[in-house]
């Protein structure tokens, strides 16, 4: 009994840690892209923002269990199998990236625009504004959102292992 509990705990920990890291690697840049292409920011592109936003929203609206079944061929191609803990990481990551990207975008929007304008007035390039102003100022909210993402991944990992 203890061996089964230990194995299950380690499997869950493995899935959650890897899926969380991959989701952060994919979700944070996507959230930044959503922000900087929205109206009033560095690369104001309403059409691009609308299309990308629609894709993110559509991806977020797909229930996890349906997504998991729908991407079985992709999972099998990437991992070599469609069952097991390693295979479960693919749908966990794919479902969490759009979720996290919206959370990141929302967190970055909480940074007062005056800070961005101040950095721009000093000639700071957009890449430095993102890394030295936006991300540090939004870090408390981002950490809360990363915690929420891990909770969502833990919940979905229970479905992934059934």
- State pLDDT tens for residues 34-93: 999 998 888 888 999 999 999 999 999 999 889 888 999 999 999 988 888 899 999 999
**Rg (Cα) of the chain, in Å, rounded?**
18
Instruction: Name every residue whose Cβ is closer than 8 Å to that of residue 41 and which is 6 or more positions away in sequence.
Output: 35, 116
Q: Are 30 and 101 in contact (CB under 8 A)?
A: yes
Residue 65: what pLDDT? 87
Buried b (16+ CB within 10 A) or exposed e, 125-139: eeeebbeebbbebbe
For residue 112, report the phi and psi dihedrals to the nearest 5 degrees. Answer: -55, 135
Tell me the whole-structure pTM to 2 decimals.
Answer: 0.90
* Closest-CA residue to 113 (of 50, 35, 51, 54): 35
Domains and CATH numbers, the chain: 8-160 (1.10.3720.10)
33/37 Cα distance (integer angstroms): 6
Phi/psi zone of residue 80: left (φ > 0), alpha (ψ -120 to 50 degrees), beta? left
Q: Are 15 and 160 in contact (CB under 8 A)?
A: yes
Residue 148: what pLDDT? 96
């Amino acid at each position: 009994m203890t061996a089964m509990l230990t194995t299950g705990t380690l499997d869950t920990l493995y899935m959650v840690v890897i899926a969380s890291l991959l989701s952060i690697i994919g979700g944070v840049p996507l959230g930044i892209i959503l922000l900087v292409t929205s109206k009033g920011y560095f690369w104001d592109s309403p059409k691009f923002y609308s299309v990308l936003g629609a894709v993110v929203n559509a991806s977020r609206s797909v229930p996890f269990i349906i997504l998991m079944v729908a991407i079985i061929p992709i999972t099998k191609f990437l991992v070599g199998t469609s069952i097991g803990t390693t295979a479960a990481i693919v749908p966990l990551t794919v479902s969490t990236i759009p979720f996290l990207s919206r959370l990141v975008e929302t967190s970055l929007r909480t940074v007062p625009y005056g800070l961005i304008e101040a950095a721009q007035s000093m000639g700071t390039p957009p890449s430095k504004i993102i890394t030295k102003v936006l991300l540090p100022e939004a870090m408390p909210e981002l950490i809360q959102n990363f915690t929420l993402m891990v909770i969502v991944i833990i919940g979905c990992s229970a479905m992934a292992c059934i």
